Amino acid sequence: MRHLSAPVQGGRPGDRTPPKPAPPPPPFWRRYLIPVGLVLTGWLLFGALSKPASTLRYSDFLGKVEAGQVSAVTIRSDGGITGQLTAPPGERRDFRTTAPSGAVTDRDLLPLLRDRKVAITAKGAGSAFWAVVVSFLPTLLLVGFFVWMGRRSADQMGGIAALGRSRAKLFDGSRPSTTLADVAGYDGVKQEVMEVVDFLKDPAKYRRAGAAGPRGVLMTGPPGVGKTLLARAVAGEAGVPFFSVSGSSFVEMFVGVGASRVRDLFTEARKRAPAIVFIDEIDAIGGRRGSNVYGSNDERDQTLNQLLAEMDGFDPTAGVVVMAATNRPEILDPALMRPGRFDRHVDVPLPTLGDREAILAVHTRDKKLAPDVDLRVVARGTPGFSGADLANLVNEAAIHAVRAGRDTITAADFDSARERIVLGRREGSNVLLPEEKVAVAVHESGHAIVAALCPNAERVSKVTILPAGFALGFTEQLPEVERRLYTERYLRDSLAVRLGGRAAELAVFGEASTGAANDLAGATDLATRMVVEFGLSPALGPVGYSPDGPGHLGPQGPRRLWSEGTQRVIDTEVARLVREAEDRATDLITGHRSALDALTDRLLEQEIVDGAEVYALLGGERVPAPAVKG
């Protein structure tokens, strides 16, 4: 069982940058070079050198001439003789022989050939060119092999040298780029970064006024809020080259590679100035130096030192604006955060209600929506969602519609998608036993009744006992307004709502179940923060121990900065707050037992009850909050 008061987080709006085109294929003839070379070499070695003719001794040649078995001869001036025999078909007929010195001009050979009617052809000495080529062929092959090996070694050395080159992706002005019009919402953040755009478009205007443009803009915020999209939109608005690189791409196992890549990146950016260099997840290389308890990391420190020098060192970079994004600004080195390096610190928060509606409009503009879909209502039901979460919500709703055999997305699809993201997939096979179903109905009815009666609690939107994910049922509360400040009354009401399910089980069955484990953990965590962080404990006094980090990546937990005696006081105060919340929830359940029983029966019958029915059972009644003590 789970009490749902604020969903979690989802997608980036409107990123339409086209993918990087594939490199052109190699010429078609390149693939035939090696086979042709092998065939030619084989022909030279075996075809050109080998002759199909058989070799005869000169005496045998004379005997065959006398026997009339020679039909034609070719006599060269160097004594070589080739010809054909009058052999029967199917046997080799070509032959060759070499006459002794002076035998070619022998007065007996030529008359003998004429008497036997042998066709005689005279020919000069053969060319020595191919003989020289063939004799040098092994040497040429060996030289070619060494040349090939040398080039391969040079390529390998070039690959090692390429380790120091920047791996930044360049998006130049000739390619379609994202603009600020593609970024939905975030009007305040857009206004902050527009000055960077104005400076890149017209730097002379700033020089005339004696003003210097920002050298660096650091964007911080939770994951998925669109920090990278904003940086790309700035480059698109300014119409300048945009170098995008991740902080982790500077980290290698070789010392000095990261610093070399930083130098190469800024060298390329200077050549194309004005330009924007965007470093995503800069905390990978910009962490505080000397913070490693096991010793300093020389490679990371060298990379950071080179980045500091490039941004504002002895030779400052002109016309290059560095934009960076991180979820952990608290770990960055102070030298990196100072003015002159990152002059602007832009916080990109989770989108507000209006921003979420605009982001949803961007993600649904190419989808068919049913008339019952109100994006304002959907946005109101997604507090705490980031842009990435909203993109995921729209995609899950579309998948749910396809699963139902439709191409139109309805409001029910958005509700199912939100439940899947927050709670998990609904298991049709997860069937509860009859007694378990009753216990879940009582538990969720307790949550809903207490939430409806607490004046500072969020309004109940829906109650269900259908299992989803790890939750056997849940009570959904949607905020009516965007809250940024939480009063003690609101926090106490939240504690009471969390313990309403357990209080209902105790009132109806006289015992609690394991279904309240998640509620107890959430209530204990909230009470601990009230005592440790918010100073809402009279016994501990106005003392607050801040958590470790600003919370962009979620609560990291408080640092242990107190003594054992203080810890005992904290434990006592946390137990007191949770006990008071449970007593208050029990009083509300006992005073409205008839409404609890009626809601339980309706849940067992319908499985899903709208929030309006809960308030109807209570007659629209809300009891006043008790006076806050201390």
User: How many CB atoms neighbour CB 207 within 10 A?
Assistant: 11
Using CA atoms, how far apart are residues 199 and 191, in angstroms rounded to an integer? Answer: 13
Using CA atoms, how far apart are residues 443 and 500, in angstroms rounded to an integer? Answer: 8
Q: Is the dihedral of CA 158, 164, 167, 168 positive or negative?
A: negative
Q: For residue 85, what is the enclosing H or E element?
A: strand 80-85
444 is catalytic: yes
Counting every residue written for the chain, the total comes to: 630
Using CA atoms, how far apart are residues 374 and 380, in angstroms rounded to an integer? Answer: 10
Whose tokens are 């990152």? That residue is: 342
**Secondary structure in 3-state letters for 598-609:** HHHHHHHHHCEE
Is the separation of the CB atoms in 171 and 231 below 8 Å?
Answer: no
DSSP string, 355-418: HHHHHHHHHTTTSEE-TT--HHHHHHT-TT--HHHHHHHHHHHHHHHHHTT-SEE-HHHHHHHH
Q: Residue 620: which region, alpha, beta or left (left: phi > 0; alpha: psi -120 to 50)?
A: left
Quick check: helix, strand or coil at residue 543? coil
How does 375-413 read in b/e, with b if 16+ C-beta sit within 10 Å? beebbbbbbbbbbbbbbbbbebbbebbeeeeeeebbbeb
Quick check: helix, strand or coil at residue 222? coil
Quick check: helix, strand or coil at residue 68? coil
Distances (CA, A) of 381 to 244, 376, 545: 35, 9, 32
Using CA atoms, how far apart are residues 172 and 510, in angstroms rounded to an integer? Answer: 70
Distances (CA, A) of 567 to 260, 522, 528, 570, 571: 50, 19, 11, 5, 6
Q: Out of 192, 281, 396, 444, which one is annotated catalytic?
A: 444
Is the separation of the CB atoms in 248 and 284 below 8 Å?
Answer: yes
Using CA atoms, how far apart are residues 484 and 47, in angstroms rounded to an integer? Answer: 89
Distances (CA, A) of 382 to 141, 487, 497, 610: 73, 22, 20, 18
The burial of 82, by beta-carbon neighbours within 10 Å (0-12 exposed, 13-18 middle, 19 or more buried), is given as middle
Tokens of 230: 């904003």
Nearest by Cα to 53 from 76, 73, 77? 73
Residues annotated catalytic, as ranges: 444
